[in-house]
Amino acid sequence: MMNPTDTSFDLAASALNLLDCGVIVLDAEHRIVLWNRWMVSRSGRSAARVREQSLFAVFPELRGSRVEAAVLAGPGDGSTRKVSNLEGRTPFPLREAGSFDGTRIEQAIAVTPFREGDEQLCLIEIRDVSGTVDRERHLLEHAESLRARSYVDGLTGIHNRRYFDMTLERELRRAHRNGGALSLLLMDIDSFKAYNDHFGHQQGDACLITVAQALAGMLKRPADVAARYGGEEFVAILPDTTLAQAAGVAEAIRLDIAARALAHAPAAVKDHVTLSIGVAAFGKDGLNEAASLIEAADQALYAAKRGGRDRVAVAGTQ
Ligand SMILES: Nc1nc2c(ncn2[C@@H]2O[C@H](COP(=O)(O)OP(=O)(O)OP(=O)(O)O)[C@@H](O)[C@H]2O)c(=O)[nH]1
């Protein structure tokens, strides 16, 4: 060991106390021989109080932890063992300086056995990584919220086209595998240009929100998906639903929107807001690809428009 009268020893002791991390040195019996000031302020225990005591008597909760395992493992190849990421990040009951009942600081811990002369010692370094962990958590939450928002239509709050495309591909694969039914509704607000021209674009937006929310509310099964397809067009994916059942759902939606009696422009076909709906189903006439299924629903929608609007048309029946 160093000579305590050596000035380099004093220098080392001062530097140790200035370090922005906890430093503990244990002897071969795991008794604390060194405990720097960082440890004093974060643990509320002075060096005099803990010196010569076993680390596991000072912190009984370390028993059975990976910190204990790393310490007990002895010198091994003399390499440093990083233990903090292998278990919770707060193995030591340490809190911010001056706060003895606050939350524990998050810790990165390194355990390094070493020899000094004949003595077997063990260095434990503890770093406060609370800021990093907070930033990490914040970034994760931010990424999650961005991901969620990238699937939501900014105006209406229901799913967007991107989510629809992804879900349709997935549901088509599932229907292929299980030989199950899958139907698609393509819905368009009738004479919406006239609505905008008469009431203004802002009220047009409010109308889109009302219709979108009504649609989403009408679809009761958890696997059903309502999305804004673009402009004043909406779409619904109905898994495990046959063409005939989907036609029934479409008719219920049409009636629900009409029953809301939302005033329409004088130039519109009806005096209230109405929907035209095209229905198509997977499997019928080889409609087993997203593009052909959408095309079939679109043609049915066009037939509904041609037929006078405010109606449901089913693919393959016009
Ligand atoms: N307010 C508002 N209007 C939109 C939005 N997206 C599309 N539109 C309008 O929706 C109208 C759609 O008009 P058209 O495609 O001509 O169809 P339509 O007037 O609904 O007539 P039919 O579909 O044939 O019954 C256009 O005037 C678009 O400007 C939007 O986000 N907000």
CB-based burial label for 245 (10 Å; 0-12, 13-18, 19+):
middle
Q: For the chain (length 318 residues), average pLDDT per consecutive 10? A: 67 91 96 96 94 96 89 76 67 85 88 90 93 87 86 94 96 90 97 97 97 95 95 97 96 97 94 97 79 95 97 87
Q: Which atom of ligand 1 is nearest to the CA of 269?
A: 25
3-state class (DSSP) for residue 148: helix
Q: Which of 96, 136, 232, 289 is catalytic?
A: 232
Work out whether strand 233-239 and strand 182-189 pair parallel, antiparallel, or are unpaired.
Answer: antiparallel
Q: Where are the beta strands (DSSP E) in 105-190?
A: 107-116, 119-128, 182-189
- In one letter, which amino acid is 146? L
For residues 61 and 261, what is the distance between their CA atoms, to the nearest angstrom? Answer: 67
- Cβ proximity of 125 and 23 under 8 Å: yes
Atom of ligand 1 nearest to the CA of 276: 25
The answer to whether the beta carbons of residues 240 and 181 sit under 8 Å apart is: yes
pLDDT given for residue 313 in this prediction: 98
Pairing of strands 119-128, 182-189: unpaired
Rounded to the nearest whole angstrom, what is the distance from the C-alpha of residue 309 to the centroid of ligand 1?
14
133 CA from centroid of ligand 1 (Å): 48
Asked if 246 contacts 262 with a C-beta cutoff of 8 angstroms, the reply is: no
Is residue 232 flagged as an active site residue? yes
- Rounded to whole angstroms, what are the CA distances from 205 to 86, 154, 212? 52, 11, 10
Q: How far apart are CA 65 and CA 111, in angstroms?
A: 13
Q: Are strands 22-26 and 119-128 parallel, antiparallel or unpaired?
A: antiparallel
Query: CB atoms < 10 A from the CB of 318, how many?
Result: 13
Q: Are 52 and 158 in contact (CB under 8 A)?
A: no
Domains and CATH numbers, the chain: 7-134 (3.30.450.20), 157-314 (3.30.70.270)
Which atom in ligand 1 lies closest to the alpha carbon of residue 196? 1
**Spatial separation of the C-alpha atoms in residues 189 and 208, rounded to whole Å:** 9
pLDDT for residue 86: 45
Residue with CA at minimum distance from ligand 1 atom 7: 231
Given a contact cutoff of 8 angstroms between Cβ atoms, the answer to whether 277 and 250 are in contact is yes
Minimum CA distance residue for ligand 1 atom 27: 193
Task: Quote the DSSP letter at residue 31.
Answer: B
- What is the 189 CA–ligand 1 centroid distance (Å)? 8
Amino acid 77: pLDDT: 67
Ligand 1 pocket residue status of 204, Cβ below 6 Å: yes
**Strands, E assignment, 240-297:** 275-281
Residue nearest (by alpha carbon) to ligand 1 atom 6 = 231
Phi and psi for 85 in degrees, rounded to 5? -80, -10
